[in-house]
Structure 1
Amino acid sequence: MIALSGLSAFPITPADRHGTVDEAALRRLVARLAAARVDSIGLLGSTGTYAYLTREQRRRALEIALDEAAGAVPIVVGIGALRTDDALRLAEDAKAAGAAAGLLAPVSYTPLLDEEVFVHFETVATESGLPLCIYDNPGTTHFTFSPALIGRLSRVDGILGVKTGAKPKNEVAAQFRALGEAVQPGFSVGCSIDIAAPDALLAGAKAWYSVVGGTLPKATLAITRAAQAGDTAETARLHAGLEPLWECFRRHTSLRVVYALADLLGLCRAEPPRPILPLTGSARDDVAAALKALPADLAQ
């Protein structure tokens, strides 16, 4: 069973405006991550725009990624859906294809209660047999996991870890300490906010679920390894080197920035699914300038 630790790099899912996956482009992105030897690939996360793709499109993207990774890197795939039975079918697809784990968010239209979320996760984990990582992303799901609920879910067989955001810098250490105390031994607590992830790793988080890691795997892997080694100074130095990109994230959002970044790096020409529009004009120029400003060893 997969150990959710280290750097999990999340690529975009290059596709046309109808959601048809650009197979050659996705292969290039996955091959780049596998060559960098990231610890896992986070396919069809929010950066992979899973919510905009059909079951068939998601299944095809997973097949392509698994074929390109060829077992060298485990793949954690998004299986979030509004209905429990739909999430279960996606989990079954992922298990049958050979994914290492599923990333499950409590996607909702009607706000969910804690017990509803617990039963949702318990059902998918138990009935599918696919190992799961909890995706705590209240900005999109409008549901916030409490440490107590994460602790309760950590006791469900097959739920291996959580991908969660981070509080302000001066609260990160206490946040991840509290989560670590709430969960079962061996349960992985990981951070999903790129700007805060190095501090979270130094504070005891086991994994960094990285947006920018999907396009700059070597840079983010170097930061991860420095933090895992407890090298605070080197972690801070490398993280500061990516500040031009972090500023773009703040100004233009991470999703839009990484689409522009993939194009500027020559990895693929893709646009986010409508109604999301690609960055143009001065916003795209900001990303180009940020890329140019990165130290040479981090621009890869």
Structure 2
Amino acid sequence: MSLFEGLSAFPITPADPSGRVDISALARIVTRIKDAKADSIGLLGSTGAYMFLSREERLRAVEAAIKAVGGQIPVIVGVGALRTTDAQALARDAKSAGADGLLLAPVSYVPLRDEEVYEHFVAVADVGQLPLAIYNNPGTTRFTFSRDLICRLSKVPNIVAVKMPLPPDDDYVGELSAIRATTSSAFRVGYSGDWGGAASLLAGGDAWYSVVAGLLPAETLALTRAAQAGDVEMAKQVDAAFEPLWTLFKEFGSFRVMYVIAELLDLCRANPPLPIQPLREEVRQRVAVVLHSLLDDLAQASSETALP
């Protein structure tokens, strides 16, 4: 299996108000992912609050995660930064700490042009010398990769995959066909946006880059394996159990909801980095009800059927 295939779990990065990473809590979280046997860990993605952390804290997080998983699961590290030289430094740090792959988003303040993004990726891929995935996340970066730009970047040494947002009109098949028509057979196309994870895999996507898998890896893996096996009915059954959580993600943002889930699971007690505000108590209660119902529903389904 390629590094950028299957279920990639994206954990939060617990930190104190000053941005100091709680490496003990992070180790607990990534160990949970390792024990569930997810296909990879997506460390320091958007869920991992990479843009809120200093270079030093990002390195501490990578080192702690690598140590905790002990080589038993690949770790893909987000290295996005405003300046190309900073992203290159982060790529070097990740490689020296033992990362297996890199994930790069075109972070910007001044809106970027295609050629600027292209040169940025070429520069980081060159110094990183690890398999690198394009992080197409217009919801946060406000930059959308054209298919032509993805095609150009797919020919750059070390750039081997793209992480896509959910497509318009849920046309996974059409989008996958269009991207694959202009990239090599080795280039991998996966999706983020948890409520579309099952659909993207059933349509033939290579990877699901999942927020919820960062804290509920075993439960998310059951959904992943059903979809990968083409078991439409099982995938729909498990996805239906997740639907109330997807609703909360859409209403409040998965980033905020995940911090509440982490506390409910007794994995850590941390708030999102300011200026992001923690959810109000009444919303936290809603998250608790949804989480407990989800776990109960999936436990019952597992006892009644052979969940993957």
TM score, norm. by length of structure 1 = 0.97
| Per-residue Cα deviation, 1:116-169 (whole angstroms, up to 9, x for no partner) | 111110111113312211100111111100111111111111011011111245
Report the Cα distance in structure 2 between the residues aligned to 1:101 and 1:87, rounded to whole angstroms: 14
- 1:165-244 equivalences in 2 (<5 Å): 165-244=165-244
| SS state at 2:171 partner | helix
- RMSD over equivalenced CA pairs, Å: 1.5
Contact kept? 1:95, 1:130, Cα under 8 Å: yes
Contact kept? 1:177, 1:204, Cα under 8 Å: no
Find the counterpart in structure 1 of residue 8 from structure 2.
8
What is the CA distance between 1:265 and its match in structure 2?
Answer: 1.2
Find the counterpart in structure 2 of residue 107 from structure 1.
107
Contact kept? 2:107, 2:141, Cα under 8 Å: yes
Find the counterpart in structure 2 of residue 92 from structure 1.
92
Are residue 124 (structure 1) and residue 112 (structure 2) matched? Answer: no
Contact kept? 1:242, 1:298, Cα under 8 Å: no
What is the CA distance between 1:229 and its match in structure 2?
Answer: 0.8
| SS state at 2:133 partner | strand
| SS state at 1:77 partner | strand
Name the % identity.
Answer: 54
Find the counterpart in structure 1 of residue 158 from structure 2.
158
The structure 1 segments of at least 4 consecutive aligned residues displaced by more than 6 Å after TM superposition are none
Contact kept? 1:10, 1:42, Cα under 8 Å: yes
**1:27–1:170 CA distance, 2 compared to 1 (3 A):** closer
| SS state at 1:81 partner | coil
Contact kept? 2:3, 2:101, Cα under 8 Å: no
Specify the code of the residue in structure 1 equivalent to 2:126.
T
Aligned residues: 300
Report the Cα distance in structure 2 between the residues aligned to 1:198 and 1:177, rounded to whole angstroms: 18
Report the Cα distance in structure 1 between the residues aligned to 2:197 and 2:212, rounded to whole angstroms: 12
Contact kept? 1:2, 1:101, Cα under 8 Å: no
Find the counterpart in structure 2 of residue 77 from structure 1.
77
Report the Cα distance in structure 2 between the residues aligned to 1:166 and 1:241, rounded to whole angstroms: 20
Find the counterpart in structure 1 of residue 262 from structure 2.
262
**1:170–1:272 CA distance, 2 compared to 1 (3 A):** closer
What is the CA distance between 1:271 and its match in structure 2?
Answer: 0.7
Specify the code of the residue in structure 2 equivalent to 1:213.
A
Report the Cα distance in structure 1 between the residues aligned to 2:270 and 2:297, rounded to whole angstroms: 25
Specify the code of the residue in structure 2 equivalent to 1:189.
V
Report the Cα distance in structure 1 between the residues aligned to 2:271 and 2:252, rounded to whole angstroms: 15
Contact kept? 2:34, 2:73, Cα under 8 Å: yes
- 1:270-285 equivalences in 2 (<5 Å): 270-285=270-285
What is the CA distance between 1:257 and its match in structure 2?
Answer: 0.5
| SS state at 2:76 partner | strand
| Per-residue Cα deviation, 1:59-99 (whole angstroms, up to 9, x for no partner) | 00000000000000010011000011100000000111110
| SS state at 1:296 partner | helix
Contact kept? 1:165, 1:191, Cα under 8 Å: yes
TM score, norm. by length of structure 2 = 0.94
**1:26–1:202 CA distance, 2 compared to 1 (3 A):** same
Specify the code of the residue in structure 1 equivalent to 2:285.
D
| SS state at 1:111 partner | coil
Are residue 139 (structure 1) and residue 139 (structure 2) matched? Answer: yes
What is the CA distance between 1:170 and its match in structure 2?
Answer: 4.1
Report the Cα distance in structure 2 between the residues aligned to 1:54 and 1:202, rounded to whole angstroms: 38
Deviates more, 1:43-52 or 1:259-268: 259-268
Report the Cα distance in structure 1 between the residues aligned to 2:156 and 2:84, rounded to whole angstroms: 17
Report the Cα distance in structure 1 between the residues aligned to 2:151 and 2:118, rounded to whole angstroms: 11
Report the Cα distance in structure 1 between the residues aligned to 2:2 and 2:67, rounded to whole angstroms: 18
Report the Cα distance in structure 1 between the residues aligned to 2:54 and 2:99, rounded to whole angstroms: 18
Q: Which runs of 5+ in 1 are unaligned?
A: none
Report the Cα distance in structure 2 between the residues aligned to 1:295 and 1:26, rounded to whole angstroms: 22
| SS state at 1:196 partner | helix
| SS state at 1:166 partner | coil
